[in-house]
Every structure is written in structure tokens, then in C-alpha cells.
Amino acid sequence: MSIQLIVQFLVLVEETKTEAELIAQLESVLKPYGFEYYSIRLHSRQHQNSGHDVLAAHWPEDWEENYASRRYPIVDPTVRMLGIAQRPFRWRDAVLKLKTDPNRARMQRMMQDAARNGLLDGYTFPVQGRNGLLGHVTICGKVVDLSPAEVALFDAAARKVFWRFLELRERSEELEAVPQLETRLTRREMEVIVLLADGLTSNEIAKALEISSHTVDWYINGLQEKLKAKNRQHVVASAFRLGLTT
């Protein structure tokens, strides 16, 4: 498939004046690739599965109702991957990555159900904001093997269409605002973050700062709480987004 379709979309998306035009442009580039279905979602911490944060979506008939009634969001591998992914990922790769998950059987049933509804495979593109994951774009349908170049271009297109929806709804400025930390970080915490960002382990940080590894872990746990981070990698990612380190 010619990547010229995606390149053309990247140019035309800025010229759209209405959401209907934007959706038409999006579908014009997805369907030739075999992606009949899509979803553009703005994440909401208060209402993770609420329909109110869906900017645009096209799914198989009754799929959304079945998805909710069968409690698939709990085991959906794409939802789980969004919690840790910084880059685009393919659905089947997410399933493989979570092969040791205790809910593996339910996860497989969900993917089989999805396939029966025409959702054979897809790609998900996380959209990061200054305060973490802002939303995501999913394109799916037939099994399509995108080249690395095509994935990169679709990633750019996903971000473009996501932000264009927000612009049309006059919400882009509020979501681009730089968040303010509710608590201040100490000098030692800043030192730990910088060393974490350099890829050092607890033992290596302890040697560099001449403190015990137990104390380093104590600082890291405190940073996770302050930055509302899930793990060390999330601490570093949050630090970058908040401008605490470069």
C-alpha cells in the first residue's frame, strides 16, 4: 500500500473545518489499508470506560455493548498495554507480551470474540500529554502487516487527528497546559531522578550518592507516590513530562 495516502492525510487534516470532514478524511486513508474500524479516545481518570471521552469511533454492530456487558475492559490486552506503552503497538504483540497474565484464558476468549466480529487485528497509538497518557487512537479490522515506516506515519496521523478533534472542540489549550506539582521535590529526590533517568540501578545510585540501596528504594517509593507513578520507569517518564529532567 502506498504511504502517499497517509502523507496526503497529514497535509489535509489541518484544513478540515468540521468533525464530519475530519472523520471522512480519516476513513479515506484507513479503508484502503483494510482498517474498517477505529476509535479515538480521550482518557479520563475519573471515568476510565465512560463513553463521554470518545471523540470518534466506528465499531462492529453491538460490539461496544458486548464489550461492556462481558466486562472485557478488565482483561483487554490493549487496555493493559496502554498503561505501560510509550510507543505504538500491535494487538497480537500485546497478547504475546501478556502471555503469563493470570487472566490469559479470558483474554483469549475476548480476542476470539473480537475476531468473530471482524476485529481480527489492529494497532493502537498512545497519545502522550504533559501529564502522562492523554488518549489513544486505535485502527483495526483485517490483519494488516504495516511496515515500520507506515507505523511511524500512522502514529503521526493519529496524533494529528486526535489534536484536531480537540481543536475543533476548543479543548486543546486546556489539555496542553503544563501541570503543577502538588508537592515539592527535595534536592536528594531530584538527584535520584536524574540517576534513574541515566539508567542506574538502586545499587549504582547508592554508590553514586554514598547512601544505602535501602535508602535509595525509600526515595524511589516516595517519588512514585508524589508523581503518582506505577513504577520506576513511570517515575522517569513523569519527570521528563514535567520538565524535571532532560
pLDDT, tens digit, for every residue of 1-40?
578 889 999 989 989 999 999 999 999 999 999 999 999 9
Cell matching residue 138 = 486505535
Residue 204 main-chain phi, psi, to 5 deg:
-70, -40
Q: What is the pTM of this model?
A: 0.70
Between helix 19-30 and helix 148-168 the angle, nearest 10°, is: 170
Q: Is the separation of the CB atoms in 38 and 137 below 8 Å? A: yes
**Confidence (pLDDT) at 191:** 86
* pLDDT exceeds cutoff 70 at 50: no
Give the whole-angstrom CA distance, residue 97 versus residue 121. Answer: 15
Give the whole-angstrom CA distance, residue 131 versus residue 239. Answer: 10
Rg of the chain on CA atoms, in Å = 20
The CA–CA distances, whole Å, from 154 to 6, 90, 128, 175 equal 7, 12, 15, 22
**Confidence (pLDDT) at 243:** 59
Which range, of 59-63, 171-175, 241-245, averages the lowest pLDDT?
Answer: 241-245
More confident position, 100 or 22: 22
Give the whole-angstrom CA distance, residue 246 versus residue 19. Answer: 36
Domains and CATH numbers, the chain: 4-176 (3.30.450.80), 187-241 (1.10.10.10)
Q: Report the half-sphere exposure of 15 (CA within 13 A, side-chain side).
A: 7
Give the whole-angstrom CA distance, residue 214 versus residue 218. Answer: 6
